[in-house]
Structure 1
Amino acid sequence: MGKTRYNGDMLIREEDNEMDYARQKLKEEKVFKDPVHRYIHVKDQVIWDLIGTKEFQRLRRIKQLGTTYLTFHGAEHSRFNHSLGVYEIIRRIVDDVFDGRPEWNEDERLLSLCAALLHDLGHGPFSHSFEKVFHLDHEEFTQEIILGNTEINKVLSKIHKSFPKKVAEVIAKTYENKLVVSLISSQIDADRMDYLQRDAYFTGVSYGHFDMERILRVMRPREDQAVIKYSGMHAVEDYIMSRYQMYWQIYFHPVTRSAEVILTKILHRAKDLYKTGYKFKQDPIHFYSLFEEKVTLEDYLKLDEAVILFYFQIWQEEEDPILKDLSERFMNRNLFKYAEFDPAKEYKKHSELEALFKKAGIDPEYYLVVDSSSDLPYDFYRPGEEEERLPIHLLMKNNELRELSRESAVVDAISGKRRTDHKLYYPADLLMDDSTKRATKKQIRTILEL
């Protein structure tokens, strides 16, 4: 029996009231037009209420692909778009694919939908680049938003006081029902299925397209994860190759990485100046807690890309020549050039360049940067290793489960093979300016083969 409370007219059991809200449907279904899924359907009152919270609306002001818009001009889509897309894929899985199957617990439906919708809630402006500079973790902030004094928490708590904790556990991958976790975080999950297609659409490339409809039709629930019927193996092969191509053609594009390098160096420079007592023309009040590494949830939620770009805009007028120059470069897309670089073999070359940059009056800390990108497109199970990855399993005709790479020659060829790429970034325009340090700059150009 639940606790009772008096509402002025009658006694109401809180437990019954909670269950009513969990089951409550909108009087009329809400539909979002979407370029990837055509329509995103919202029937549950709780999902509609979550979308309306200020913490979720903040995701409209954070781009899904960070600085990629400086390479692919169409990549202006937001974390808001993507989060709705992940929700829609999960909705289709739990309402259409898994519904009525004995392995699926219908009681997990709303939890799966909420976790899908909120999985990226804690992303900061420019996402991963921002996190690296200030030692932040968006997943930790996602959980903090869900569990903290927020509108999101108030909505989730109306279902049950323990419900926010369950949602946070799914996102943290600690929830007891591993099937629910796998739908949102695995090697074939709704998150990846949405961002590959969405990012391909907005960047204008064809690499990220795969037959999601087929994958959903052959997906089946099992105790620890969703599995794929053997007849759908080729659709999964296509999905994995799409992911591989998207990483190397889009996510790790060298021009995008150049923009990220400059973005990162702007933030580092501002942080370093603050610590030395530098007097900014405009007090960077939104950065104080970041510079001091004492970021509260309230501080964090005030940050979005509009705020960051405001500071970059005014830092173009700063007295500090490095902050001024880097800000101008980012805002006006005057990016660094790059050269192929192998740190293992060319460390002497890098040391020589550092010395020459200093001699030329160009600070190598900010203007000579090695950037590395690495990806593992698919991995089989390696128990006990860091970042354990559950493999994709195929459901055979005899009901046996077989790990994907054991059946697919295509996937076997790339399984466990990590590819890494290194680039050396530098400001070519400064090296071409011979007004000062002409001989030194010529030496640098010779080494870089400019």
Structure 2
Amino acid sequence: MEYSKQKLSEEKVFKDPVHRYVHVRDRVIWDLVATKEFQRLRRIRQLGTTYFTFHGAEHSRFNHSLGVYEIIRRIIDDVFDGRKDWNREDRLLTLCAALLHDLGHGPFSHSFEKVFQLDHEEFTQKIIVGNTEVNKVLAKVGPDFPKKVAEVIAKTYENKLIVSLISSQLDADRMDYLLRDAYFTGVSYGHFDIERLLRVMRPREEQVVFKYSGMHAVEDYIMSRYQMYWQIYFHPVTRSAEVILTKILHRAKQLHDEYYSFKQHPVHFYSLFEDEMTLEDYLKLDENVILYYFQMWQDEDDSILSDLCTRFVNRNLFKYVDFDPAKQFKVHSKLENLFKEAGIDPNYYLVVDSSSDLPYDFYRPGEEEERLPIHLLKSNGELRELSRASDIVDAISGKRRTDHKLYYPADFIHDDTMNSETKQKIRSILESL
């Protein structure tokens, strides 16, 4: 029997707190889960530094990837199967893309990417088409199969319906991470009626649409997403940990560039620091490796690297105040000078961090990060864009919300053993913000 059609002798299941069970019958899926590249995702947290704020948020990209696979499996096996716009031949491709969509995430994900100008989706594609165990499994399906999976991840695959299932404004990826992140952080506002959403999903030639009668379930999802971003993903304490994390990595790179003699040499970072990162080097990085260095760097002679690592390891985070960089740039400049006077390096200890989200957008052709809207399917077959039918979604549609915080080490500012007059000025400015 062709490898692509092989089934396991009996169904395998993963017990899952969100979906109860993740079901696997396809040999290809079972073999992909067993690859070392997929197992690596056990060592990458789904929510980065959020565990500093919500102690339950220790779940991994491995958990999430299985969850996305399970949602897609339910959609194409239970909802789409037999419908005119769905081709059964696309089933395995869609399942593999769902399972592997986050394969290229690095340690602490987006924070890590920003420091080193990396793109996890590019690394996902490299893993899929490169010299990896994942590629060997996919290539057994067909010589061009890895390329097809990579194209779905890149959103360039010719069948846009498959792409929209995994990457759109309402996709399996978002459905799983909202429910999963709400569960592990212990909050209630990330929940929505996924059973209803799946029941009203319909395949169309270009994208997934939703029956008009299910509009309220879609509204519920949009509002859950809105709340999760501002209550969980953009939480200022989590962002404080991210600020320290990024500053540690910047400091380590600067010291490397200055030929500083590390007590614990950052051998796993050399190719990153020198912009020569290979796929093999990248796959050796996970959060266990990063945290090992942070633990060891607490004893470095460089006071900044040592202090920042000690803060991160022991959760002595920066404090924050609301700050508008557009209106208060003179205040920031004055604070920078005072920090220097006080012997505190503002490059590492005075940080403006901004978070921004667009919860739902209508179609804006030609614009950067162009988003396809969510469409509702009326009984006569016509499509109606969601914000034109829903007053709730219309109220937030196309409206970007941004939050700015100024982060600083309160313990330094309140330590008057030296430069007390300068630090008093700093405190006065911060208290006035």
Range into which the TM-score falls when normalised by the shorter chain: over 0.9
Which residue number in structure 2 is paired with residue 301 of structure 1?
A: 283
DSSP 3-state at the match of 1:156: helix
Q: After the TM superposition, which parts of structure 1 deviate over 4 Å for at least 4 consecutive aligned residues?
A: none
**Counterpart residue number, 1:238:** 220
Superposition pairs of residues 283-298 of structure 1, within 5 angstroms: 283-298=265-280
- Of 250, 273, 278, 2:232 maps to 250
* Structure 2, gaps ≥5 residues long: none
Q: How far apart in 2 are the matches of 1:101 and 1:415? A: 31
Matched, 1:261 2:240: no
Q: Distance in 2 between matches of 1:292 and 1:442?
A: 41
In 2: Cα distance, 1:396 partner to 1:100 partner: 20
Deviation of 1:282 after TM superposition, in Å, equals: 1.4
Aligned-residue offset at 1:344: 1.0
Q: Which residue of 2 aligns with 1:406?
A: 388
Question: Structure 1, residues 303-330: CA drift from partner, whole Å, max 9, x if none?
Answer: 0000000000000000000000000000
Q: Which residue of 1 aligns with 2:31?
A: 49
State whether structure 2 residue 213 is matched by structure 1 residue 213.
Answer: no
**1:254-302 deviation line (CA, Å, top 9, x unaligned):** 0000000000000000000000000000111000001111100000000
State yes or no: 1:93 paired with 2:56. Answer: no
Q: Does 1:272 find its partner at 2:248?
A: no
In structure 1, the residue matched to 2:173 is: 191
Structure 1 segment 318-397 matched on structure 2, within 5 A: 318-397=300-379
SS of the equivalent of 1:348 reads helix
Question: Equivalent residue for 2:40?
Answer: 58
Q: Distance in 1 between matches of 2:334 and 2:423?
A: 13
1:435 paired residue number: 417
- Which residue of structure 1 aligns with residue 137 of structure 2? 155
CA distance in 2, matches of 1:168, 1:39: 27
For residue 380 of structure 2, give the secondary structure of its aligned residue in structure 1. coil
Q: Measure how far apart 1:397 and its partner are.
A: 1.2
Separation (CA, whole Å) in 2 of partners of 1:65 and 1:152: 24
Q: Secondary structure at the match of 1:449?
A: helix
**In the alignment, which residue of structure 2 is the partner of 1:448?**
430
Alignment partners' CA distance in 1, 2:16 and 2:97: 20
Which amino acid in 1 is paired with 2:257?
A: K
Q: In structure 2, how many angstroms separate the alpha carbons of the residues matched to 1:294 and 1:79? A: 26
Give identity over the alignment, percent: 81
In structure 1, distance between residues paired with 2:246 and 2:73: 37
Whole-angstrom distance in 2 between the partners of 1:130 and 1:137: 10
The number of equivalent residue pairs is 432
**In structure 1, what is the Cα distance between the partners aligned to 2:221 and 2:303?**
47
Cα shift at 1:204? 0.3
Q: Say which one has the larger Rg.
A: 1
Counterpart in the other structure of 1:419: 401
Instruction: State the TM-score, normalized to the length of structure 1.
Output: 0.96
Alignment of 1:36-185 (within 5 A): 36-185=18-167
Give how far 1:368 is off: 0.1
The residue identity in structure 2 corresponding to 1:445 is R
- Following the alignment from structure 1 to structure 2, what is the Cα–Cα distance between the partners of residues 441 and 255? 23
Partner Cα distance (1:309, 1:257) in 2: 18
Following the alignment from structure 2 to structure 1, what is the Cα–Cα distance between the partners of residues 358 and 266?
A: 38
Q: 1:226 and 2:208 equivalent?
A: yes
AA aligned to 1:422 is H
Measured in 2, the distance between the counterparts of 1:121 and 1:294 equals: 20
Structure 2 Cα separation of the partners of residues 446 and 282 of structure 1: 40
The alignment's TM-score, normalised by the length of structure 2, stands at 0.99
- Alignment partners' CA distance in 1, 2:205 and 2:400: 30
- Hey, what's the Cα distance between the residues in 2 that align with 1:292 and 1:414? 43
Paired residue secondary structure (1:257) = helix
Partner of 1:316: 298
Once residues 267 and 85 of structure 2 are traced to their aligned partners in structure 1, the CA distance between those partners, rounded to angstroms, is 52
- Provide the rounded CA distance (Å) in 1 between the counterparts of 2:30 and 2:411: 51
CA distance in 2, matches of 1:336, 1:207: 27
SS at match of 1:372: strand
What CA deviation, in whole Å up to 9, does each residue of 1:391-419 have, x standing for no partner? 00000011100000010000000000000
Distance 1:70 1:343 in 2: 26
SS in 1 for 2:251: helix
Instruction: Give CA-to-partner distance per residue, 1:80-121, whole Å, 9 cap, x none.
Output: 000000000000001000001111000000000000000000
* Stretches of structure 1 lacking an aligned partner (at least 5 in a row): 1-16
Q: Distance in 2 between matches of 1:207 and 1:117?
A: 26
